[in-house]
Amino acid sequence: MKIKKVVVIGSGTMGSGIAAHLCNANIPVTLLDLKTEISEQARDRIYKSKPPLLLDKSKINNIKVGNVSDDFDAVNEADWIVEAVVERIDTKHNIYEKIFKERKKGAIVSSNTSSIPIKVLSQNLTEEEKKDFCITHFFNPVRYMGLLEIVKNENNDLEKINSLKLFCEVELGKGAIICNDTPGFLGNRVGVYAMQIAMTEAFKMNLSIEEADAIFGRPMGIPKTGIFGLYDLIGIDLMADVLKSFIKELPKNDEFHEVAKEIPLVKKLIENGYTGRKGKGGFYRINKTDGKKIMEALNLKTGKYFAAKKINIKSEKVNLKALINREDKYGEYAWSVISKIIKYASSLVPGITKEFNDIDEAMRLGFNWSKGPFEMLEEIGVVNFFDKVNDYTGNKFLENLAKSKNEKFYGVRQKYTDIETLGKVKKTALSVDGNNSAQIYRFNDYNIVEFTTKANALDYDSMDALKKATDKPLIIINESMQFSAGVNLSYTMDFANIGDFKSIEKFIRYFQETCKHLKYSDHPVISAPSGLTLGGGFEVMVQSNFVASHTNIVVGLVETIVGLIPAGGGCKEMLARWLETEEAKKDPHYAPLKVFDIIGYGKTATSPVEAEPLKYLKPEDKKIMNRNSLLEVSKKILEDNKDFKAAPETKFNLPGKAVKEEMIKVLEKLYNDKIILDHGMEVGKELAHVLSGGDTTIDKTLLEEDIFKLELGSFMRLIETKKTQERIKHTLSTGKPLIN
């Protein structure tokens, strides 16, 4: 079965996301709704979406739109018809009747339902039709969420289900997990339970919402929105509907009922329109007082808002053992929540799946947790867990584990896919070295470096690990969301705060040396980025010999935004790339001016398609839809380059003063138009200094070291300014740039 054409019915949040993602995979897709205007509006929404649902906005018209009355004949050409209309069984049944009359024989029909069982959806279908009907449960936003649950039952043609899975894995890049027809499937069953337990325990233990979010967040390897923040994001009213549907579908003895009881405060919030971010606010709200925006948090006892407090639990890294053993209310809350999630998830095995690690993967890909419940159990340690846990009678999984006390119970990870993923390889690889910021693994005859800091921000230790790992071919790759958000600004500011600029200089110099070492190492170095690949992260990638990039990459040099310039080779490499163009060969000013524009504005690209015209990525760099495949593709590059020899050193001929004057003119215009202020001018002049080649002329040949020196000099002058420090501090405390 080949899927060449798809029709999506229902152009709301999910239908439009699915259509956009099919477009990303170059699959012709038709999006139908009740009226063509609705699907047209959906296409507009796709075009304007942020973060963008499309890899390449210019392809928007590859999504055809129409309505279910006039354009239904599109269905008879489709190999797959996805239904994503409202969650109403009568509507869905009517649609299926129409689809099965119209579809070509053997075409797959699937529903995106989150809560209606397959047996109910397919109750009016013939046996023959049931073979081709399943649930394909995508997560929102479709481009970015890795999980796709394919739900089947005993009526399905398994061969067809498997080929659909393969299509979704390879073409759509999804972590496609085949699930049984049980309420909420895997992700929502455990994910919503986890949310409820995190919320109800916070009420029980008298934790403030800020405290609960500070624990049920980064320290547990869970996104920083926490629990109450996540509730606000999803919609407090929508969550209430989800709970109602679980209560209706789940057997009376399911633990879920315990945590799904209506909470009076939550009911009141919904009644008063406090439904979360889309409403008047929710557990948090932004309040404007005296023209200032203030983040407020709800007091769970009084139901009144107060200025939200920042909770510092002094735990930068995920360390579950340390977290649950803390002798304070945070430790107590963490243990209570984690142990209950582990108990609930394990009670569902083998009922909802016989592979417990499918549940972990569903939590990782569907909820962005760094570890699922069983991996949490593995990290805590079996003996430690049973020392602390109380009643688990009737839970077969835990009863067996309590007997075996097998610390290695986990076995292979990510069994649902045949791809040799980093997750699988790490389990069998030798951990050869590591420090606080990175881990080095040896697998067969190559090394892997995985950064391990928050957002994989880079510091001296990260560079140390990279340097050490070049004794073999090296793949720089990671499991966490971001490749690297750039140099660790907080690490840099710690030195700046005590006036220790020598240490900053030493670090930047080491960063440069390491990147140069990667570029000219005897063994090939491959970067396999995904997510944020910014600033210093980009500099590591660009000075690797090969790149295998995930299609969800956010890449760019953004240093000017905090009042700095790239100093780890970013200016150098961008110059080198633009100097190779035909235009640059004719006009020596072309490349420096182009790079000045790109770095000056801190331009970022949100996909490889956007990255190539900026030359952040090259045409020959590999672009991969499935993040799980990054390691395999990187390995293949190694195999294809057994005779690798580093390229000769790049040389630069730059115009110096002549082009610098042109750049200054650009800056003066921006200054006069009040687009930049004094400090912007200062940063721009330093960038101009570097990109023009400093005190040089076109006939002089500069070496990489010369450009590194220019970068370092400018970087140091800027970091010593009060204004740059102020910008960095602002970004560190708010996560946002300082605009002035």
String of contacts with ligand NAD for each residue 54-83, x by CB under 6 A: --------------x---------------
> Is residue 141 near ligand NAD by the rule CB under 6 A?
no
Q: Give least dist CB 32 to ligand NAD, A.
A: 6
Beta bridge partners of 178: 150
Contact residue for ligand NAD among 49, 62, 76, 91 (CB under 6 A): 91
> Is residue 87 near ligand NAD by the rule CB under 6 A?
yes
For the chain, first and last CA: distance in Å?
57
Q: Give least dist CB 22 to ligand NAD, A.
A: 15
**CB-neighbour burial class of residue 698 (10 A; exposed 0-12, middle 13-18, buried 19+):** middle
Of 142 and 485, the one with the shorter C-beta distance to ligand NAD is: 142
Q: Give least dist CB 227 to ligand NAD, A.
A: 18
> Is residue 113 near ligand NAD by the rule CB under 6 A?
yes
DSSP character at residue 458: B
Identify whether the C-beta of residue 521 lies closer than 8 Å to the C-beta of residue 724: no
Identify whether the C-beta of residue 366 lies closer than 8 Å to the C-beta of residue 355: no
Of 11 and 480, the one with the shorter C-beta distance to ligand NAD is: 11
> Is residue 11 near ligand NAD by the rule CB under 6 A?
yes
**CB-neighbour burial class of residue 117 (10 A; exposed 0-12, middle 13-18, buried 19+):** middle
Q: Give least dist CB 50 to ligand NAD, A.
A: 17
Largest CA distance in the chain: 83
Identify whether the C-beta of residue 371 lies closer than 8 Å to the C-beta of residue 279: no
Q: Give least dist CB 652 to ligand NAD, A.
A: 50
User: Cα separation of 518 and 506, whole Å?
Assistant: 18
Q: Which helix (H) or strand (E) holds 475?
A: strand 474-476
> Is residue 120 near ligand NAD by the rule CB under 6 A?
no
What tokens does 647 get?
Answer: 């390229």
> Is residue 140 near ligand NAD by the rule CB under 6 A?
yes
Q: Give least dist CB 87 to ligand NAD, A.
A: 4
> Is residue 431 near ligand NAD by the rule CB under 6 A?
no
Beta strands in 68-167 (DSSP E): 80-83, 108-111, 133-138, 147-151
> Is residue 548 near ligand NAD by the rule CB under 6 A?
no
Residue range at the interface with ligand NAD (CB under 6 A); choices 30-38, 177-185, 278-286, 357-365: 30-38
> Is residue 366 near ligand NAD by the rule CB under 6 A?
no
DSSP character at residue 102: H
Amino acid at 504: I
Contact residues for 442 (Cβ-Cβ < 8 A; gap 6+)? 429, 430, 432, 448, 472
Q: Give least dist CB 33 to ligand NAD, A.
A: 4
Residue 289: CB atoms within 10 Å: 9
What tokens does 438 get?
Answer: 């990175």
Q: Which helix (H) or strand (E) holds 729?
A: helix 722-734
Of 93 and 517, the one with the shorter C-beta distance to ligand NAD is: 93
Residues that bind ligand NAD (rule: CB under 6 A) add up to a total of: 22
Q: Give least dist CB 251 to ligand NAD, A.
A: 22
* Site of tokens 């593995």: 378
Contact residue for ligand NAD among 1, 13, 77, 311 (CB under 6 A): 13
DSSP string, 644-655: --PPPPPEEE--
Contact residue for ligand NAD among 30, 36, 114, 696 (CB under 6 A): 114
Contact residue for ligand NAD among 20, 33, 364, 532 (CB under 6 A): 33
Of 19 and 718, the one with the shorter C-beta distance to ligand NAD is: 19
Residue range at the interface with ligand NAD (CB under 6 A); choices 10-18, 54-62, 475-483, 663-671: 10-18
CA angle, 436 then 442 then 446, to 5°:
120
Of 103 and 218, the one with the shorter C-beta distance to ligand NAD is: 103
User: Cα separation of 203 and 209, whole Å?
Assistant: 9
Residue range at the interface with ligand NAD (CB under 6 A); choices 5-13, 151-159, 364-372, 423-431: 5-13
Q: Which residues bind ligand NAD (CB under 6 A)?
A: 9-15, 33-34, 38, 68, 84-87, 91, 95, 112-114, 137, 140
